[in-house]
C-alpha cells in the first residue's frame, strides 16, 4: 500500500472517530441536562420554594426598569439567576459522573479487535446490519429521510430489502423449525400492508391460519369449500395455452422410462382440443371425457385435430400398453374428479391484470391426498407464471410468488422461465427448501444451478445436512486478506530479533461448521452484490384468523385414497419411443402449432365442429360396444 493511500486511510479513520466521539459527547450532555432537571424537580425538597422565590424576583425586574431603577433591576436579576444556578450546578456536579462513559467508550475502542491484524484485500466480508441498511438505502449525503424507506421495505431480520432488489428473486434454505416460516411471516405481513398481489404455496396451512381474510383474499384447493372455482379453459385463449397446460400438468419424467409421461401428455392434449372444439369447457367435461372407455376415447382423438398423437397410443385400446398409459395419465388428472363442481368464472388472467385487485391467493394441499393434488397445484402456479410472462415489461408491477416447501411441489416446467424472465415483468419469487437434495430430486443439475444463479438474494439458516452446508459455504464465497504475524526469536546476548510478516490468506468467509451450528432464528443473509450479514429475527407471534382447511360438505375424504406413483413394465414401451423430449418454450409452441392448427375463434372452427355427428357417434358407439363385449367375455359363465 502506498504512503498516500495509508495517509488517506488514516485521515478517514480520524474523521470517523471525531464524528463518533462528538455524538457520544452530545448524548452525554443531553442526558446530563435531563438528569439535572429530573433531580431538582422530583428529588430536591427545597426546589419549589427556590423556584417560587425566583419567579417573584424575576417579576420585580420589569417594574424596576420602568421606574428607572436600572441598578436595582440588574442586582435583582443577578441574585435570582445566581440562586437558581447554584441549585442547578449542585445537581450538575453530582451528575458529572456520567462523563465517565466517555473514557469507558474510548477504552473499549482501544481494545484489540479480532480483525485488527487483518488487512482485507478482496472477496466477501461481514458487514453489520445498520451499515448495510445505510449503504443500500441512503442514496446521497442529503438523503436525510432514508430511514423512512425501511418501513415500506421487506424485512430480512435486521436488514431490509430495497424495492428495486425484490424482483431479483430470493432463495432461503434451512432444516425444519429454524425460522424460514417466521421469515416469510414478516414478508407476508408487509406485502399485505402494501396491498400487493401474490400467491402462496401453503403446504402446511400455516399462512392461511395467520393471514387469510375471506373478505379480501382468495384460496385454491379443490377439496376446500372456500376455493375459487377455476377451470383451465377460463385462461385458455390460444393453441399455445393448450400445449402449455399439458406440459405443465404432465412434465418430463424425473427418472425411469420417459415414454409413459409423453404418451399421457399426448392423450391429455388431445382431450383438451376435443373439449375446446366441442364447447365442452368445464372441469366436469374434461373428467368425463378422460373416463370414457379406451375405445371411445380413441375414436374421439382420431377425429380431433390435435389429438392424432394421442390416438396412436390407443390404437390397441385393450392392450396392456394402452392400459398402462391410461393408469399413468390418471395419476396426473385425478384432481379433476374433485374439480367437477368448479364451473365458476374465476380467471387468473383477469386477477393478475386487474389494477384494482389487491388480494393474495393461498394455494393449499391436503395431507392425505397430497399426491392427487400436486399436479393441479403445480398447474395453477405455472399458469400464474405464464400469464405474468405474457405481460409487457413494467418495473412498477409487483406479483409475489411464495413457494415455501418448494421440494413438495412436482417438477415445474416453467420455473426456469419464471426465475430468469419475470424480473422485468415485476415478478418477485421467494423459494424455501430444507436442503439442496430436494431440488436435485426434481431437476437436473444444470437447471438447479439456473434456479440458484437467478436468485440474487440468499438466506442460509441452519442446515444439518453436510452436503447442503458445504454447498452454501462455498456459495457464500471467500475472503482474502493480509494477516500480520510477529515472530520473536530469542538468542544469546544481543541476538534477539523481532520480525513482522504480512501473510496472504484466502479462506471461506463462512465455514460448513458455522452453518451447521447456527441457532434458530439466525441466518447468513446476502443481498445482491453486497457483503454478508449475520441477521437475527424475533419470533413473530400471530393469532389464528382462519382454519387451515374447511372440507367441502359434499365430500367424504375418509373414503378417498391418495394415488400412488405409477410403475410400468418397460417391455411394454413401443420401439422407437424411448427418447425423452425437451419441454418446448412458448416460442416453440407457436412455431410448431400455429401454422397447423386453426384459431380458436368460433368462425374458424366450423369445419371441425361440424364433423359428421353420425360418423362420430358410430365410432364412439363401436368403441363402447367393443369395450363392453370384452368386459362381458371376461365374466365367468354360469355354472363354470
Residue with cell 401454422: 595
Do 358 and 197 contact (CB within 8 A), yes or no? Answer: yes
519 pLDDT band, cuts 50/70/90, is very high
Domain around 92? 3-111
As a whole number, mean pLDDT of residues 542-567 equals 83
Residue 114: CB partners within 8 Å, gap ≥ 6?
Answer: none
pLDDT digit string, tens, across residues 621-637: 444 444 444 344 444 44
**CA 365 to chain CA mean position, Å:** 18
**Which tens digit of pLDDT belongs to each residue from 213-225?**
999 999 999 999 9
Model confidence over 324-336: pLDDT tens digits? 999 999 999 999 9
Structure confidence at residue 615 (pLDDT): 38
Decide if pLDDT at 608 tops 60: no
Query: For 599-633, b where at least 16 C-beta lie within 10 A, e where not — what string?
Result: eeeeeebeebeeeeeeebeebbeebeebbeeeeee
Q: What is the mean predicted confidence (pLDDT) over 94-112?
A: 63
* Residue that is last in its domain, among 78, 111, 144: 111
At residue 233, the pLDDT reads 96
Could you tell me which of 372, 435, 362 has the C-alpha nearest to residue 402?
362
pLDDT tens digits, residue range 359-378? 999 999 988 888 899 999 99
Beta strands in 492-636 (DSSP E): 497-508, 522-527, 532-536
Burial of 439 (0-12, 13-18, 19+ CB in 10 A): buried
Q: Which of 47-56, 488-497, 498-507 is least confident? A: 488-497
Q: Where are the alpha helices (DSSP H) in 43-128?
A: 47-59, 61-66, 70-94, 101-110
Q: Above 80 in pLDDT, residue 445?
A: yes
469 falls within a domain: no
Residue 331 CA to residue 346 CA, distance in Å, equals 25
Residues of the chain above pLDDT 70, percent = 77
- Lowest pLDDT segment from 243-257, 413-427, 475-489, 561-575: 561-575
- The one-character DSSP state at 576 is T
- Mean pLDDT value across residues 552-578: 68
Which of the residue ranges 136-145, 347-356, 366-375, 501-510 would you say has the lowest mean pLDDT?
Answer: 136-145
Q: Answer yes or no: is pLDDT of 42 > 90.
A: no
Q: Is the pLDDT reported for residue 44 higher than 80?
A: no
For residue 51, tell me if it sits in a domain: yes
DSSP letter string over 221-283?
-TTBTT---B-GGGG--SHHHHHHHHHHHS---SSS-THHHHHHHHHHHHHHHHHHHTT--SH
Residue 400 backbone dihedrals phi, psi, to 5 degrees: -95, 140
Query: Are 129 and 159 a contacting pair, CB within 8 Å?
Result: yes
**What are the pLDDT digits (tens) for 196-248?**
999 999 998 999 999 999 999 999 999 999 999 999 999 998 888 999 999 99
Q: Using the 3D structure, point to which of 96, 111, 126 is the last residue of a domain.
A: 111
**Do 467 and 437 meet the contact criterion of CB atoms below 8 Å apart?**
yes
Distance (Å, rounded) from C-alpha 513 to C-alpha 469?
A: 8
Q: In the structure grid, which three cell numbers stand for residue 301, read together?
A: 382423438
**What sign does the dihedral 254-260-261-262 (CA atoms) show?**
positive
- Is 309 inside a domain boundary? yes
What gap in Å lies between CA 604 and CA 598, rounded to an integer?
Answer: 7
The pLDDT-based confidence of 323 (bands split at 50, 70, 90) is: very high
Q: Kindly give, in sequence order, each residue whose CB lies less than 8 Å from that of residue 125, ignoring residues fewer than 6 positions away.
A: 479, 509, 531, 532
Number of folded domains that form the chain: 2
List Cα–Cα distances, 241 to 2, 55, 236, 253, 399, in angstroms: 64, 86, 5, 21, 21
**Is the pLDDT assigned to residue 502 strictly greater than 50?**
yes
User: 572 near 321, Cβ under 8 Å?
Assistant: yes
Confidence class of residue 36 from pLDDT cuts 50, 70 and 90?
Answer: confident
Strand 427-433 to strand 399-403: parallel, antiparallel, or no bridges (unpaired)? parallel
Cα gap 107→111, rounded to integer Å? 6
| Phi, psi of 235, deg, nearest 5 | -125, 25
449 domain residue, yes or no = no
Q: How far apart are CA 15 and CA 26, in angstroms?
A: 17
Please state the rounded mean pLDDT for residues 450-462: 96
pLDDT above 80: residue 486: no
CA atoms within a 13 Å half-sphere pointing along the CA-CB vector of 524: 25
Task: Give the Å distances, CA to CA, from 587 to 352, 378, 421, 598.
Answer: 22, 21, 14, 17
Beta-strand relationship, 170-173 and 427-433:
parallel
Indicate the Cα dihedral angle 545, 548, 550, 551, nearest 10°. 180
pLDDT at res. 573: 62
Residue 594: per-residue pLDDT: 35
Residues for the chain: how many in total? 640
Comparing 191 with 587, which gets the higher pLDDT?
Answer: 191
pLDDT of 50 over the 80 cut: no
Give 601 or 63, the one with higher predicted confidence: 63
Query: In this predicted model, what pLDDT tens digit does every residue of 143-159 receive, in sequence order?
Result: 667 777 888 899 999 99
Q: Please give the Cα distance from 158 to 133 (Å, whole number).
A: 9
Res 296: pLDDT? 96
- Is 201 inside a domain boundary? no
Whether 479 contacts 125, CB under 8 Å: yes
Which of these ranges, 427-436, 439-448, 588-597, has the smallest mean pLDDT?
588-597
* Mean pLDDT of all residues in 526-542: 96
> What whole-number distance in Å separates Cα of residue 171 and Cα of residue 428?
11
* 611 closest CA partner among 286, 271, 304: 304
- Helical axes 370-389 vs 320-333, angle rounded to 10°: 70
- Name the β-bridge partners of 154: 161
Average per-residue pLDDT for the chain: 82
Task: Return the percentage of the chain with pLDDT > 90, whole number.
Answer: 54
Flag whether 548 is in a domain: no
Alpha carbon separation from 113 to 10, 107, 117, 438 (Å, rounded): 17, 12, 8, 41
Q: Is residue 185 part of a domain?
A: no
Last residue of a domain, one of 76, 111, 146: 111
Residue 423 confidence (pLDDT) above 50:
yes
**Which of 3-7, 191-195, 563-567 shows the lowest per-residue confidence on average (mean pLDDT)?**
3-7
Q: What is the distance between the alpha carbons of residues 362 and 404, in angstroms, rounded to a whole number?
A: 12
Phi/psi at 517 (5° precision): -110, 10
| Helix segments in 361-435, DSSP class H | 370-389, 415-421
Please report which confidence band the pLDDT of residue 450 belongs to, taking 50, 70 and 90 as the band edges: very high
Going by C-beta distance under 8 Å and a sequence separation of 6 or more, which residues neighbour residue 183?
Answer: 156, 157, 172, 459, 523, 537
Amino acid at each position: 500500500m502506498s504512503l498516500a493511500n495509508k495517509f488517506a486511510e488514516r485521515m478517514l479513520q480520524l474523521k470517523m472517530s471525531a464524528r463518533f466521539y462528538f455524538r457520544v459527547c452530545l448524548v452525554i450532555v443531553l442526558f446530563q441536562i435531563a438528569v439535572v432537571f429530573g433531580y431538582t424537580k422530583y428529588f430536591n425538597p427545597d426546589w419549589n420554594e427556590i423556584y417560587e422565590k425566583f419567579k417573584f424576583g424575576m417579576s420585580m425586574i420589569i417594574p424596576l426598569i420602568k421606574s428607572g431603577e436600572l441598578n436595582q433591576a440588574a442586582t435583582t436579576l443577578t441574585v435570582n439567576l445566581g440562586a437558581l444556578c447554584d441549585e442547578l450546578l449542585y445537581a450538575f456536579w453530582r451528575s458529572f459522573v456520567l462523563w465517565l462513559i466517555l473514557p469507558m467508550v474510548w477504552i473499549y475502542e482501544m481494545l484489540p479487535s479480532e480483525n485488527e491484524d487483518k488487512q482485507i484485500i478482496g472477496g466477501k466480508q461481514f458487514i453489520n446490519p445498520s451499515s448495510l441498511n445505510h449503504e443500500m438505502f441512503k442514496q446521497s449525503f442529503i438523503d436525510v429521510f432514508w430511514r423512512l424507506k425501511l418501513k415500506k421495505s421487506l424485512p430480512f431480520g435486521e436488514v431490509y430489502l430495497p424495492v428495486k432488489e425484490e424482483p431479483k428473486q430470493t432463495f432461503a434454505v434451512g432444516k425444519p423449525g429454524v425460522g424460514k416460516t417466521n421469515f416469510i411471516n414478516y414478508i407476508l405481513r408487509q406485502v399485505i400492508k402494501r396491498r400487493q398481489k401474490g400467491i402462496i404455496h401453503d403446504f402446511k396451512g400455516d399462512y392461511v391460519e395467520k393471514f387469510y381474510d375471506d373478505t379480501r383474499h382468495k384460496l385454491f384447493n379443490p377439496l376446500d369449500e372456500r376455493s375459487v372455482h377455476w377451470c383451465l379453459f377460463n385462461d385458455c385463449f390460444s393453441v399455445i395455452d393448450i400445449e402449455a397446460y399439458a406440459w405443465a400438468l404432465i412434465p418430463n419424467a424425473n427418472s425411469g422410462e420417459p415414454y409413459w409421461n409423453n404418451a399421457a401428455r399426448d392423450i391429455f392434449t388431445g382431450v383438451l382440443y376435443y373439449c375446446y372444439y366441442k364447447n365442452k369447457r368445464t372441469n366436469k367435461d374434461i373428467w368425463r371425457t378422460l373416463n370414457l372407455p379406451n375405445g371411445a376415447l380413441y375414436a374421439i382423438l382420431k377425429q380431433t385435430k390435435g389429438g392424432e398423437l394421442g390416438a396412436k397410443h390407443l390404437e390397441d385400446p385393450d392392450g396392456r400398453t394402452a392400459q398402462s398409459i391410461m393408469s399413468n395419465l390418471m395419476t396426473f388428472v385425478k384432481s379433476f374428479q374433485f374439480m367437477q363442481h368448479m364451473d365458476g368464472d374465476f380467471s387468473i388472467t383477469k386477477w393478475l391484470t386487474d389494477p384494482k385487485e389487491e388480494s393474495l391467493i393461498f394455494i393449499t394441499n391436503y395431507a392425505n391426498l397430497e399426491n392427487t393434488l400436486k399436479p393441479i397445484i403445480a398447474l395453477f402456479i405455472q399458469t400464474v407464471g405464464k400469464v405474468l410472462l405474457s405481460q409487457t415489461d413494467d418495473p412498477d408491477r409487483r406479483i409475489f410468488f411464495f413457494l415455501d416447501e418448494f421440494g413438495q411441489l412436482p417438477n415445474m416446467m416453467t420455473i426456469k422461465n419464471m426465475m430468469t424472465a419475470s424480473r422485468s415483468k415485476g415478478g418477485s419469487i421467494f423459494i424455501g427448501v430444507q436442503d439442496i437434495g430436494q431440488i436435485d430430486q426434481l431437476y437436473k443439475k444444470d437447471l438447479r444451478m439456473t434456479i440458484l444463479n437467478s436468485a440474487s438474494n440468499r438466506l442460509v439458516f441452519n442446515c444439518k445436512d453436510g452436503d447442503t452446508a458445504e454447498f452454501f459455504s462455498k456459495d457464500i464465497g471467500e475472503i482474502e486478506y493480509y494477516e500480520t504475524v510477529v515472530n520473536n526469536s530469542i538468542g544469546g546476548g544481543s541476538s534477539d530479533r523481532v520480525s513482522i510478516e504480512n501473510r496472504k490468506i484466502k479462506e471461506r468467509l463462512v465455514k460448513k461448521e458455522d452453518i451447521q451450528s447456527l441457532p434458530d432464528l439466525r441466518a447468513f443473509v446476502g443481498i445482491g452484490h453486497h457483503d454478508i450479514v449475520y441477521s437475527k429475527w424475533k419470533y413473530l407471534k400471530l393469532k389464528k384468523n382462519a382454519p387451515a382447511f374447511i372440507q367441502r360438505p359434499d365430500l367424504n375424504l375418509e373414503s378417498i385414497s391418495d394415488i400412488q406413483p405409477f410403475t410400468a413394465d418397460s417391455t411394454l414401451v413401443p420401439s422407437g419411443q424411448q427418447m425423452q423430449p425437451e419441454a418446448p418454450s412458448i416460442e416453440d409452441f407457436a412455431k410448431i402449432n400455429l401454422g397447423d392448427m386453426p384459431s380458436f375463434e368460433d368462425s374458424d372452427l366450423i369445419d371441425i365442429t361440424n364433423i359428421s355427428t353420425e360418423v362420430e357417434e358410430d365410432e364412439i358407439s363401436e368403441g363402447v360396444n367393443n369395450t363392453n363385449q370384452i368386459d362381458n367375455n371376461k365374466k365367468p359363465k354360469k355354472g363354470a
